[in-house]
Amino acid sequence: MTTYQGSCHCGRVAYEVDGEIDGAMACNCSICQRKGSLLWFVPRGQFRLKTDEAAAATYEFNKHAIKHRFCTVCGIHPYAEGSDPKGNAMAAINVRCLEGIELDSIPVTHFNGRDL
């Protein structure tokens, strides 16, 4: 298992996450389309925040099912938190915020979140 380092642009929100990136999701819902995130979903236990929790603000909308986390200084959205359909805690990692990632090598699946 690989450990990846990730952060917002200014570094006030930094984390590490364990796993193997086999793909990412591009969602077209009202927030994801605007952010341009490419999301990799992992069990919450594989995600470790390395900075103070207060450095990341939370934005929720619609059903309030996902906590979209963003840096209060630079505004970058490095991750989100929520649950999978079975109720398991998950982290949605913005792979664009991971160090040393070759984005062109990651297969991207498109998800129609606009119509949910």
Torsion of CA 37, 80, 15, 110, to 10 degrees: -30
Confidence bin at 106 (pLDDT 50/70/90): very high
* Domain membership flag for residue 116: no
Q: What is the pTM of this model?
A: 0.92
* Domain membership flag for residue 106: yes
Q: Write the CATH number for 30.
A: 2.170.150.70
pLDDT over 70 percentage in the chain: 99
Full domain range(s) for residue 95: 2-111
- What's the pLDDT at 61? 85
Confidence bin at 116 (pLDDT 50/70/90): low
Q: What is the pLDDT of residues 11-26, one digit of tens each?
A: 999 999 999 999 999 9
* Domain membership flag for residue 95: yes
Cα separation of 77 and 70, whole Å?
Answer: 4
pLDDT at 55 over 80: yes
